A and B are shown apart, each in its own frame.
Chain A
């Protein structure tokens, strides 16, 4: 029987050893300046190229743009300390910060900056590629940008994260970005696409040294994983927590929660060229049918995020207190639909000349609240007798549907401050021909000329009036129907202090973090 006893002892020992091995490292030690601050978010790094990597490397403060922006969207010096336009507005000069260095030790020269910008301009789908730029050259230590026509928001376009300035050593054949050598306060220590990035403070950074010298970024695709990483203390700063989990974490009080309203709006893109939706009375009726406050409360857990106009208060220059807010008014909606000739049929669905009011809405699940909001909209429209078919698919089906004209409604979130001056995005979205994420089959001559005048910069004093006019036209014509605004939250462990969120999402400001005493 000794053999049997040995087996029992052996098996128990093995199990205990395994468990001990699992737990051997114990709880994390108390942080030191060398201890990395751990940042967790939903964003995966699919590409190193600034034009497609989004703001990854500006958020991590690895790379800089020529121009920076403060929380209000006001332009600030970045890699460039000053910029001047010629008298005719067709030639701009950007003076570089003296002694700036790339992480490979080479100087940030005008030549290097001009090459980086030329590479960025050649990539499709970025604001720089659509701006009326003719040439970008190095000229006596400054960077010179020549334009085909006056374009006041040029400096703001050079604050877009797609125009990050990388060192010449970052580029491989065909201007493909093979590594990220920036000039910011942190440099990349290790990069494992798509989910892990490790940063170290750049020793030769001329500005204020970060208090925490090491950063680890980890992407986690599932919201519940991120929540548990925040709750267990594994993450110091966690982005992308769903509203319900945020409420739970807030109650648990193991962490602090920072939030900021983003200049981003969830909206319904409407095909105004559609035989039913082309009628502005129908669009207004649809807008009145939406109970935005209930949707914001139930889905976003935040009634303040119910949109009363397209621009959220976080875009103070564009948000107009004077416009009549969008409200929930089902009886008003029925009245407008009746005026437009829509009356309930036998089955309760609205009909006009024997044709039923049936439309479809496309959205996508990458932003988890979108499909839920889509079904809430579906329910509200059903109450009015409108049959809405919700199709949840890939995000690209919205621009694809815009191009082939098959889109009827699209539900998505639009960030109006990717270029800090919202004018650039608006001029694109509501130009005469419409845009993938803007108007469809709709244009308004006054709006287009107002936006063009503002973009040319010929009447700087008239900008506030222009912005008010734009907001009023969009509010009354509703080429897109605003649904909700957006609040970004970050869960911060009690180990760190000093996090402040940037509403423009340009930077996570990790250099401001300190370990709690």
Chain B
């Protein structure tokens, strides 16, 4: 049998292909999410004008007169399809509109909330990676050793503690007893430490587990043994062979965790009075602030697409093997 294998990359290259696919996905997601948000808000119980007025005037002061003012000002009597077309039209011109409650630009508010959430998520991720990857890599050096067992304990412990309880514990220790960090709030640089640590502890356990297993697997592989056999030093083997090969697994895993992290910051943001996307979305839903709900949901959805794209690109960069193989028999 004459077997020839011809390998060649797709004409646009893997990077462009990933970007093209994801751009299409982003457009579809944007349309789907905004339509779904609009339909869901319209079907929620309660009078929209009263809900918005409750947001604007405060809970003891919303009256029928203030609701009427809101209704007239926002044209809530118009048919739903007209309101939806208006919003979709604005979206195509990249205009997210103004908040029905605060009266300020949604884009401006969203920018602040998104930035705060991303800051928190990034700080948590860096901390979780530092703790988790270091712990996992060290544990994999001697599977079954003391460090490995300690890591397993850490993984179970960190997963068993709900973020709300962990956050309260951290505040009690670092703010109330030691007095070294602010308990909650936003504005000081140090304010980010406790919410980020709360998120990071939960994540770090999983990262440690995944890193430990991936490193242990790769260490057992033929190419690592070959690299060691040909005389490469332990450090070179770790950096050139183990770390890079583990990276492909880890990056995909981090991508999934990032999504959970972005969605999971709501409780932590609420406990630490951190003005992020979760906080914004909950308030917007409570007040039926439609432009804000749509913009926040859209931002979250696009963030998912962006993260998936980053994961794909990261994997492409780390793994030099071509994406497509053509076998010619």
* A interface residues (Cβ-Cβ under 8 A, vs B): 3-4, 7-8, 10-11, 14-15, 18, 22-23, 25-28, 40, 46-47, 49, 52, 54, 123-125, 129-130, 176, 192-196, 216, 218-222, 224-226, 228-229, 231-234, 364, 366-367, 393-397, 399-400, 402-403, 412-415, 435-437
Contact = CB atoms under 8 A, between A and B. Distances in A.
Contacts of B141: 4, 7
A414 B60 contact: yes
Which of A18, A40, A366, A395 has the most CB atoms of chain B within a 10 A radius of its CB? A395
A33 to B, nearest CB: 20
Nearest to B178: A23
Which of B60, B64, B112 has the most CB atoms of chain A within a 10 A radius of its CB? B60
A421 to B, nearest CB: 18
A27 B112 contact: no
Given A193-B104, A364-B59, 11 more contacts: A3-B233, A23-B180, A26-B180, A47-B56, A47-B102, A52-B56, A52-B58, A221-B270, A226-B184, A396-B53, A413-B60
B286 A218 contact: no
Contacts of A195: 185-186, 273, 275
Nearest to A53: B58
A339 to B, nearest CB: 35
B231 interface: no
Interface stretch (B43-51, B80-88, B304-312): B43-51
A192 B171 CA distance: 24
B319 interface: no
A394 B67 contact: no
B63 interface: yes
A27 B180 contact: yes
Nearest to B147: A8
A232 B183 contact: yes
A218 B191 CA distance: 12
A47 B103 contact: yes
A228 B175 contact: yes
Given A46-B55, A193-B102, A367-B59, A393 B46 contact: yes
Contacts of A396: 46-47, 50-51, 53-54, 62, 67
B112 A192 contact: yes
21 contacts: A3-B233, A11-B134, A11-B135, A14-B130, A46-B102, A124-B65, A125-B61, A195-B186, A196-B187, A218-B185, A219-B273, A232-B182, A394-B46, A394-B50, A396-B50, A397-B50, A400-B46, A400-B67, A413-B60, A414-B60, A415-B60
B131 interface: yes
Contacts of B217: none
B108 to A, nearest CB: 10
B273 to A, nearest CB: 4
A458 to B, nearest CB: 27
B25 interface: no
B64 A436 contact: yes
Given A399-B67, A400-B47, A412 B60 contact: yes
Given A125-B57, A225-B272, A403-B64, A232 B103 contact: no
A232 B179 CA distance: 6
B249 interface: no
Contacts of A14: 130, 134
Nearest to A122: B69
B273 A222 contact: yes
B193 to A, nearest CB: 5
A232 B135 CA distance: 32
A395 B184 contact: no
B238 interface: yes
B155 interface: no
A123 B130 CA distance: 54
A194 B273 CA distance: 10
Contacts of B63: 125, 399, 435-437
A14 B132 CA distance: 12
Given A4-B234, A192-B187, A394 B51 contact: yes
B138 interface: yes
B286 A22 contact: no
B197 interface: yes
